[in-house]
Copies of this chain bind each other. A is one copy, B any other.
Amino acid sequence: MINLTSNYKIIPEFVLKDEEGIDFSSKNLLGKYSVVYFYPKANTPGCTIEGIDFTHLIDEFNGNVVGISPDSCNAIAGFKSKKGLKVKLLSDPEKRVAEMFGAVKDGKLIRSTYIVDPWGRIRREWTKVNVNGHAKEVLEEYKKIIAEDSAISDNIQIRRAFRGIRQDPISDEDLRTLIQAAHLAPSCMNKQPWRFTVVRSKEKLEKLYEALSGGNYWMKYAPALIVVHTKEEYGCQLSDKRNYALFDTGTAVGLLLTQATQMGIVAHPVAGYEPEKVKEVLGIDGIVITIIAVGYWGNFGILNERHLASEESPRQRLPLEEIVKFQ
C-alpha cells in the first residue's frame, strides 16, 4: 500500500496485534504525524518511564504514539492498565517489525524512536535511546516538523520573476531534472499535453533572441531558455470550454518553477516574444505558451533601472479575499 518514491526512508508494511488482540496495520500511520517507539520489555523501569512520559504528552502528540515490544498481547495489556498508559501498544513477539525498522542488533532489540509523517516517511530517528527527557525531546522535534511542513514552502515564496541572471551554465543533468519534475504533473486523463524544447546551444539561442521583445533583453544572459508548447488536441477537450492542454501545461510549469527554486535556479516565464518566429527557429508547431529563462541569480549590472528596482520590490498580489471564497 505504501509505494512512494521519496528522498526519505518509508516505513515498512506490517500488521501487529494490539493490547486487545486487534490487528493494527502500518496503514493506520498514514495521514497523520505519529511517533513509533520500540522498547525492550514491559514493566521494566526504563520502559515504564518511557511509557509514562509519552502518556503525559499524549494530547500534544494528537494521540498518535505507538509503542512496540516483543512482549505478548497479555503482557502489554497488563503493562498498559497497571501503569495507566495512554499510548497504543503492539506486540512484536519475533521482533520482525523491529528488525524492518532497523531497531534490532545481534538479535537484541535496541530502544529506538521514529517520527513518521502523513506519507509514511521516517522524518527523524533516535537509536540507543536514553529514556530520561526523551519524550520531551521527541515532542519538540515533532512540533518542529509539523510547523515546517505547515509553512508556505520556500520553493514557492522565494520564487520571483527575477531578471538578474548570471551567464554561468546550468548542466544538462540539472535541466533534465527540471523537465522530469514538470513531467510528474497530473493531467486530465493523464494525457500529458506539455512539450518542452530546452535551448542552450549558442547558435539556436542567438536566433531565438531575435524573437524576443525589447523588454526581455535580460534573457540574453540566461544559459538556457525553455520553450513550452502544446496543442489543443493534446489535452482533454470537455464541455463548457474546458480545454485542458493549456491548463495541464500550466500545472507542469508550476512544478518546474518550484523545482528550479529548490535547486537555487531562477526560472522566469515570459510572454513577450513572437510565437511564429520561435516556432520557425525551433521547427515546432502548436501554441508556444511561454519561454522560461533559467539561470543563477546575482547579475544585477545587466539590468535597467526599472528592472533593477523590481528585483527587490515587494510582491504585488490582489487581496486574498478577491480570489477565494469559503462556502
The chain A residues found within 8 Å of chain B, CB to CB, are 1-8, 27-33, 117-119, 121, 148-161, 166, 168, 172, 174-177, 179-181, 183-186, 188-190, 192, 194-201, 204, 232, 236, 238-244, 246-255, 257-259, 261-265, 268-269, 271, 275-276, 282, 287-290, 295-300, 311-318, 320, 323-327
A181 to chain B, nearest CB (A): 5
- CB contacts (< 8 Å) of A200 on chain B: these are 326-327
A298 cross-chain contacts in B, Cβ below 8 A = 27-32, 118
Measured CA separation A298–B161 after assembly (Å): 38
With A156-B184, A249-B250 known as contacts, the answer to whether A149 contacts B263 (CB < 8 A) is yes
In the bound complex, CA of A179 to CA of B32 (Å): 21
| CB pair A253 B251 closer than 8 Å | yes
Q: Tell me the interface secondary structure of chain A in the complex.
A: mixed
CA A232 to CA B243, docked complex, whole Å: 11
Residue in B closest to A266 when the chains form the complex, CB atoms = B31
Which of A180, A282, A289 gathers most chain B CB within 10 Å?
A: A289
- Across the interface, name the chain B residue whose C-beta is closest to A318: B192
Q: Are A257 and B251 in contact (CB under 8 A)?
A: yes
Q: Could you say which residues of chain B place their CB within 8 Å of the CB of A299? A: 31
Knowing A264-B149, A317-B183 are in contact, say whether A323-B195 is a contact too (CB < 8 A).
yes
Shortest CB–CB separation between residue A29 and chain B, in angstroms?
8
Residue of B nearest to A145 (CB): B264
- Smallest distance from the beta carbon of A107 to chain B beta carbons, Å? 32
CB–CB B5/A241 < 8 A: no
A264–B64 Cα distance when bound, in Å, is: 15
Could you list some 19 contacts between A and B, CB below 8 A?
A4-B160, A7-B154, A27-B298, A30-B297, A30-B298, A32-B298, A118-B296, A121-B158, A151-B177, A183-B323, A184-B315, A192-B318, A195-B323, A197-B324, A198-B324, A244-B271, A251-B269, A254-B254, A282-B327
Which residues of B are found within 8 Å of A248, using beta-carbon distances?
Answer: 250
Residues on B with beta carbons closer than 8 Å to the beta carbon of A287: 240-242
B158 touches A155 (CB 8 A): no
Closest to A147 in B: B7
> Complex formed: what's the CA distance from A200 to B325 in Å?
11
Do residues B183 and A320 form an inter-chain contact, with CB atoms below 8 A?
yes
